[in-house]
Amino acid sequence: MSDKQTLLEQIRADIIANDTCPDLAKTATNLVMGDGNVDADIVFIGEAPGKNEDEQGLPFIGAAGKFLDSMLEGAGITRSEVYITNIVKYRPPNNRDPLPEEKQTFWPYLVRQLDVIAPKIVVTLGRHSMEYFLPGQKISLIHGQPKRIRFGQSRIVVVPLYHPAAALYNGSMRTVLNEDFIKLPKIIKILEKEEEKK
Ligand code: URA
């Protein structure tokens, strides 16, 4: 196991050992930590697992996940090169929105995951994860725009996108989301060029 995988396993173990969100843990089948490449340039952060994700213990594998896959493909990105997780790691009953206190409780674990993976960009999917990185912002005004923010001791680049589930049955939002996905490799290239100049 790579060092990163060991550290990510430790985060999972801590969530369980700390009895994190016991009410959600009681009704959930699996703790859905995240999946993908631990050396990824891009980490996607959704909201919380749904029914399929809860059953299989993997993020974004239902309808929204299939749509996410197709947008990745459209942007020339394979799912195996990115890492995907959620802000809340147990399924809320009946797919209700995660509560503010649930997001707050899971936030330190998400921070640790990002510290371990250290991606070039963090892509938030929907307002639930966006509001933690970019508080007070409106997704309709800033979607698809890279934002450099202070994050703990370092600075990171966050790209807020609409949530695939919101765009699934909304034609115009679908188009916007597809267009925003295509920007991601370009944003990474620009960041790499900036790094080279340093
Ligand atoms: N929606 C999310 O936000 N996350 C998932 O894992 C699945 C659907």
pLDDT band at 40 (very low <50, low <70, confident <90, very high): very high
Atom of ligand 1 nearest to the CA of 53: 6
Cα dihedral 12, 14, 18, 21 sign: negative
Q: Which residues form ligand 1's pocket by a CB distance below 6 Å?
A: 46-50, 53, 59-60, 64, 86, 165
Q: Could you say which of 3.40.470.10, 3.40.720.10, 3.40.640.10, 1.10.340.30 is the CATH number of the domain covering 3-193? A: 3.40.470.10
pLDDT digits (tens, 9 = 90+) for 128-161: 999 999 999 999 999 999 999 998 878 899 999 9
pLDDT at 116: 96
Cα dihedral 76, 48, 97, 168 sign: positive
Say how far apart CA 77 and CA 75 lie, in whole Å.
6
Q: Where in the chain are the domains?
A: 3-193
Atom of ligand 1 nearest to the CA of 84: 6
pTM of the model: 0.97
Pocket test for ligand 1, best of 85, 86, 106 (most atoms within 8 A of CB): 86
Mean pLDDT of the chain: 96
Written as one string, the DSSP assignment of 34-46 is: -EE-TT-SEEEEE
pLDDT digits (tens, 9 = 90+) for 118-137: 999 999 999 999 999 999 99
Say how far apart CA 6 and CA 109 lie, in whole Å.
15
pLDDT band at 1 (very low <50, low <70, confident <90, very high): confident
